[in-house]
Structure 1
Amino acid sequence: MADTIPIYGVRNRVEKNGPAIRDALDPDDRQVFVAELRIALASADDTLDLGPVVEVIDRWWGRAVLTANPEIEAGAFADRLRIQAGDPTVFGATTPHPPRDPENTDGKIHDPLGHLRRATA
């Protein structure tokens, strides 16, 4: 039980900041990330606009999470292969909307405001 993966699949969390993202990335990606972040920081120093810094952090954070949790990317790759092979079960089951009452078999849908709609139509 000590080594269980939560249902949402993220075992290793990555904070959404420069040092945490840098530490989670592969060495090649790390160099590119640091270069992009330094450019954005230099721009922020000149303009006082943190928008470019936030964009770099947002763009690289997902890659860092996937790198820290390779099972997520492996699962997504397996799902892509299943879709390419024509397996519709990867999308899950469809559910009716509004949900059907299993006790009601006559097919009519209960509409609590139906009488008002009919009266004003």
Structure 2
Amino acid sequence: MTAQPHEPGHGRTPEEIRASLRNDRSPRAIRAALPVEDLDAFDRQYREALRKAGDDLDLAPLHECVESWWRHAVLKADRVEYARMIDRAEEIQRRADLGEPTGGVLWDEAFEARLRSRAQKGQ
């Protein structure tokens, strides 16, 4: 199964799109799974990564580009859930900018808790 574009009315569910991307992480499958509004950016970034990989004789930029766009395609497979996620992130950022509690855990506290847990397990 390969990914197909998911324009409105295309008929593929987010689960079908994500399943196709689990089975095929090729640039072609990723591009086919992206919303139409992301195609130009994908094409531009993919071609730039190809050029850089060729110039530097290093495939890392290409792998990073493909991985990044694969995650993007998986996230955007469900447009409604993606929009909700963005709204939640913007609200959390707004609250953080105002100095309001965001409901998250401070990095230092999370790191300390992780260290304590590892120490207790003898790691």
> Greater Rg, structure 1 or structure 2?
1
